[in-house]
């Protein structure tokens, strides 16, 4: 049985087929780009790089840069999850992820099925005003600083059944933190301006200035 098509119908079907083919090619290209990324070729802890030692060295040159400044690289205890933050001056366009980022974003990646995933923005990072991530000693919590309200707030996000939950703010008295935050096994918080908050009875004591000589 031969179906005769009028010219408009023929052109419409032809356009539909061309669009479908282009969409299929784009999907295949996206899959190839994801599978063929430089991260998918990496395996083992610490992105397959040399484990950290006592001598400062440039880490994973050419891997984490996307056109901005990379800072606060933090791994979980077994080296299988990675967090870091990316900052660029206002209006500078990054290579990937794309877009003119005027502040800061936190990126996250993990080892999955033997290979590392391409780093992606955390879902709790909608304002791109979060920075200085740091894993807890057990790897089940990430601490960071958020500037979305115009001032630095100390935040944390927990992992539940392998999924990162909604972030929560830590209520600190005399909140003097300025920058990187890290946590000890006993829950004490330390900031890069040599301020310590002691964890006691489910809360934090007032800020203590550490007696560390600063030059």
Q: Is residue 184 part of a domain?
A: yes
Q: Is residue 1 part of a domain?
A: no
According to the model, what pLDDT value does residue 51 have?
83
Range of the domain at 127: 46-51+63-209
If you write DSSP's letter for every residue of 67-106 in order, what string do you get?
SSEEEEEEE-TTS-EEEEEEE--TTPEETTTTEE-SSEEE
Q: What average pLDDT score do residues 21-47 get?
A: 57
Q: Is residue 170 part of a domain?
A: yes
Q: Is residue 41 part of a domain?
A: no
CA separation for the pair 71, 169 (Å, rounded): 22
For 28, the enclosing helix (H) or strand (E) is helix 7-35
Other beta carbons within 10 angstroms of residue 103's beta carbon come to 16
**How many domains is the chain built from?**
1
Q: Is residue 129 part of a domain?
A: yes
Q: Tens digits of per-residue pLDDT, 70-90?
A: 788 899 999 999 998 887 665
Please give the mean pLDDT across all residues of the chain: 75
Q: Is residue 174 part of a domain?
A: yes
CATH number, position 147: 2.120.10.30
Q: Is residue 6 part of a domain?
A: no
Q: Is residue 40 part of a domain?
A: no
Q: Tens digits of per-residue pLDDT, 85-142?
A: 887 665 555 555 555 445 678 889 899 888 898 888 887 666 677 888 999 999 999 9
Residue with tokens 């992820």: 97
According to the model, what pLDDT value does residue 199 have?
92
């Amino acid at each position: 049985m031969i179906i005769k098509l009028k010219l408009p119908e023929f052109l419409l079907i032809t356009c539909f087929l061309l669009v479908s083919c282009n969409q299929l090619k784009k999907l295949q290209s996206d899959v190839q780009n994801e599978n063929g990324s430089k991260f998918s070729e990496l395996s083992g802890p610490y992105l397959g790089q040399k484990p950290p030692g006592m001598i400062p060295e440039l880490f994973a040159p050419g891997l984490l840069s996307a056109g901005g400044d990379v800072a606060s690289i933090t791994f979980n205890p077994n080296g299988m999850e990675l967090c870091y933050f990316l900052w660029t001056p206002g209006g500078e366009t990054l290579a990937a992820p794309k877009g003119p980022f005027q502040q800061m974003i936190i990126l996250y990646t993990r080892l999955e099925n033997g290979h590392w995933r391409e780093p992606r923005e955390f879902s709790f990072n909608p304002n791109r005003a979060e920075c200085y991530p740091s894993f807890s000693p057990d790897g089940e919590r990430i601490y960071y600083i958020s500037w979305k309200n115009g001032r630095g707030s100390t935040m944390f996000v927990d992992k539940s059944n392998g999924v990162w939950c909604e972030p929560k703010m830590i209520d600190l008295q005399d909140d003097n933190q300025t920058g990187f935050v890290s946590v000890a096994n006993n829950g004490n918080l330390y900031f890069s301006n040599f301020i310590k908050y002691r964890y006691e009875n489910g809360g934090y004591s007032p800020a203590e200035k550490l007696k560390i000589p600063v030059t």
